[in-house]
């Protein structure tokens, strides 16, 4: 089976998919037209599917020969960003969002287009593999939570996979355009998100003595949290902490009665680093609030996500498939971004890879989650090859995988992760 030839034959379809999805993005939890589009295309390919309410779509490609099952996943939601029609060189992009304030600024349009195209190739070449391919189109990846509807569906329907594969496009790995990247072990961090409100006493700016400004309290908290990493965390353990949102007040001469701040913690060790930092952070907030006579509401505490840990054997299978296809595969330092794919890896051995789609010569260099973000469409076919190549290599191989799944139920995992 000439995977590259088949992918290149479908390249026009692939780019059409990507451009349609890019021009018609939908936010997390609102992907209704995107779902209709995916279901229409799967129906045209004669691929049976089910829609998991709030979770996404699962498609099924069965070779009719008994064997293993591999799950291939793509996320489908967009971000609340108003897209810049020009790239980093000031050149017009090949397609731009038609929806004001909504943009596929993380490449999920490309992920969905790649998986749909891979699905067509696999469904038309069932004789090339033994076993079953499950296509997973996941809703709400950016909102951190819709994946649990899928995981619950798997649990309730006794669906188990022998392996899973996912791929992210973009610019966060600094390799040449079109490079495929695979790393063993810890590849992406876990994340704890927090949103906290401090309640003081509002007043007029001329009499701060009879008000209680929560901004003062926050200022002290912010200074203490910035030092927390050095005071409480082993210096050989990675952790990053940042506040990305602060809101208080509306006028310069009015002292607000409350302040809200939000941010994230990133780590590779959930138990000994992530939870420790979180515990110490809460102590700092609670103690400082008491000193400043403010009340604390933990609005969105907390979502401790798991680090993304690639199974070594699955990573080896992916590397072997990619080298056979393209002659090489790149390694990478660990990435500090976070991926919901890590939750699949709690139950199933698998691998998450990266396709480098930035291109400085073309002005495609913007970071993810920015208005200028774009992908080089000329290398997207390699993502199709990666999905097809991994699926066939895994299903037709006899590799023994060392893996111990997380024994907790999905509800227990949700409780551990603070998701209600």
Active site residues: 306, 377
Laid out side by side, the sheet with 350-356 consists of 49-52, 56-62, 132-138, 69-75, 163-170, 350-356, 180-181
Nearest to 229 by CA among 219, 217, 241, 221: 241
Contacts of 66 by beta carbon, 8 Å cutoff, 6+ apart: 130, 131
> Residue 106 has which token pair?
């993380």
What gap in Å lies between CA 163 and CA 138, rounded to an integer? Answer: 17
CA 65, distance to chain mean position in Å, is 33
Phi-psi region of 147 (alpha: psi -120 to 50; beta: other; left: phi over 0): alpha
What gap in Å lies between CA 376 and CA 87, rounded to an integer? Answer: 11
Query: For the residues of 307-351, what is the DSSP string, one character each?
Result: PEEE-HHHHHHHHHHHHHHHS--B--PPB----THHHHHHHS-EE
**CB of 332 within 8 A of CB of 354?**
yes
Q: What residue spans of 355-379 are helical by DSSP H?
A: none
Backbone angles phi, psi at 49, to 5 degrees: -150, 165
DSSP 8-state assignment for residue 127: G
Does residue 71 sit in helix, strand or coil? strand
> Residue 339 has which token pair?
């991926």
Find the helix or strand (DSSP H, E) in which 387 lies.
helix 380-396
Helices 108-123, 32-44: crossing angle, 10 deg rounding = 20
CA 103, distance to chain mean position in Å, is 15
Contacts of 227 by beta carbon, 8 Å cutoff, 6+ apart: none
**CB of 74 within 8 A of CB of 115?**
yes
Nearest to 308 by CA among 189, 417, 167: 189
> Residue 214 has which token pair?
């929560």
């Amino acid at each position: 089976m000439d995977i590259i030839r088949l992918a290149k034959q479908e390249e026009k379809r692939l780019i059409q998919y990507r451009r349609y999805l890019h021009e018609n993005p939908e936010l997390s939890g609102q992907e209704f037209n995107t779902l209709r589009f995916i279901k229409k295309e799967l129906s045209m390919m004669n691929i049976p599917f089910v829609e998991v309410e709030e979770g996404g779509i699962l498609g099924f490609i069965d070779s009719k020969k008994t064997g293993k099952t591999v799950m291939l996943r793509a996320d489908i939601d967009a971000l609340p960003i108003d897209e810049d029609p020009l790239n980093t060189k000031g050149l017009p992009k090949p397609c731009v969002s038609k929806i004001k304030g909504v943009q596929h600024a993380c490449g999920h349009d490309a992920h969905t287009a790649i998986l749909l195209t891979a699905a067509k190739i696999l469904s038309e070449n069932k004789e090339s593999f033994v076993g079953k391919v499950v296509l997973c189109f996941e809703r709400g990846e950016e909102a951190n939570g819709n994946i649990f509807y899928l995981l619950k569906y798997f649990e309730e329907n006794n669906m188990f996979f022998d392996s899973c594969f996912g791929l992210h496009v973009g610019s966060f790995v600094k390799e040449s355009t079109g490079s495929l990247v695979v790393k063993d072990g810890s590849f992406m961090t876990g994340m704890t998100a927090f949103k906290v409100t401090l309640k003081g006493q509002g007043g007029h700016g001329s009499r701060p003595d009879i008000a209680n400004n929560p901004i003062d309290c926050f200022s002290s908290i912010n200074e203490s949290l910035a030092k927390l990493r050095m005071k409480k965390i082993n210096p050989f353990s990675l952790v990053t902490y940042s506040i990305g949102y602060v809101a208080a007040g509306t006028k310069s001469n009015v002292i607000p009665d409350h302040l809200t701040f939000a941010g994230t913690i990133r780590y590779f060790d959930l138990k000994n680093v992530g939870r420790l930092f979180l515990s110490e952070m809460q102590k700092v907030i609670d103690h400082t609030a008491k000193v400043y006579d403010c009340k604390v509401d933990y609005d969105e505490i907390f979502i401790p996500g798991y680090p993304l840990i690639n199974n070594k054997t699955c990573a080896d299978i992916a590397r072997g498939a990619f080298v056979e296809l393209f002659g090489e595969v790149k390694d990478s330092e660990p990435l500090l971004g976070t991926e919901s794919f890590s939750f699949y890896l709690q139950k199933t051995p698998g691998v998450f890879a990266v396709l480098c789609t930035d291109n400085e010569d073309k002005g495609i260099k913007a970071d993810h989650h920015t208005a200028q973000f774009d992908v080089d469409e000329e290398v997207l076919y390699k993502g199709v090859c990666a999905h097809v190549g991994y699926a066939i290599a895994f299903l037709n191989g006899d590799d023994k995988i060392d893996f111990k799944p997380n024994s907790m139920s999905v509800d227990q995992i949700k409780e551990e992760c603070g998701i209600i």
